[in-house]
């Protein structure tokens, strides 16, 4: 695959993800709060510092599936968009037993919220 084609594909992928609003994403994130929080591990891992982190690598979280740990995913807007749309379809065997956020705009808002959360406080 040539570089221009790759760039074109990247551009079209980026264009497929609508712009997100972190304020609206706050409301979408309430759906995640049976298992997740930004600043503490729960049934699911904490979400601070998510962007740029390889999947399955929050050091003190012990509940990852092998499927997620070996997925090779690094969380960015595109990978989050795919995963959040269909967690079990994207990473079969993940312990996140959730059908997904099906609305692209809601996913974009949620991802914007997660990105805005920034790094974890030490």
Partner 1 sequence: MPDPIILLPRRSFFAAAGKTALSAGAVLLLAGCGSRQAALAADPAADVNILNSALGAEQEAVAAYQVGAESGLLTKPALDLAVQFQGHHKEHADVLAKTVRDLGGQPAEPLARYDFPTDQLKSEADVLRFAAGLEKGAVSAYLGAVPLFQERELARAAASILGDEAMHWAVLRQALGENPVPGAFVS
The residue ranges that bind partner 1 (CB under 8 A) are: 30-35, 37, 40-43, 63, 88, 93, 95-100
Kindly state the smallest distance separating residue 44's Cβ from partner 1, in Å. 8
Kindly state the smallest distance separating residue 106's Cβ from partner 1, in Å. 8
The residue among 14 and 34 lying less far from partner 1, judged by its C-beta, is 34
Kindly state the smallest distance separating residue 25's Cβ from partner 1, in Å. 13
The residue among 10 and 70 lying less far from partner 1, judged by its C-beta, is 70
The residue among 23 and 33 lying less far from partner 1, judged by its C-beta, is 33
The residue among 49 and 63 lying less far from partner 1, judged by its C-beta, is 63
Phi, psi of 74 (to 5 degrees): -115, 130
| CA 64 from centre of chain | 15
Report CA-CA distances (Å) from 3 to 76, 77, 122: 21, 21, 40
DSSP code per residue over 6-37: HHHHHHHHHHHS----HHHHHHHHGGGTTT--
Q: How far apart are CA 40 and CA 113, in angstroms?
A: 16
User: For residue 19, what are its two tokens?
Assistant: 């712009």
Kindly state the smallest distance separating residue 54's Cβ from partner 1, in Å. 22
């Amino acid at each position: 695959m040539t570089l221009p084609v790759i760039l074109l594909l990247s551009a079209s992928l980026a264009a497929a993800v609508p712009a997100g609003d972190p304020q609206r994403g706050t409301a979408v994130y309430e759906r995640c709060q049976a298992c997740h929080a930004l600043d503490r591990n729960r049934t699911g891992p904490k979400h601070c510092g998510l962007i740029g982190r390889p999947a399955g690598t929050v050091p003190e979280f012990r509940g990852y599936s092998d499927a997620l740990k070996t997925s090779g995913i690094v969380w960015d807007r595109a990978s989050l968009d795919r995963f959040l749309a269909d967690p079990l379809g994207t990473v079969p065997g993940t312990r996140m037993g959730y059908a997904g956020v099906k609305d692209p705009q809601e996913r974009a808002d949620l991802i914007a919220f997660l990105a805005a959360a920034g790094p974890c406080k030490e």
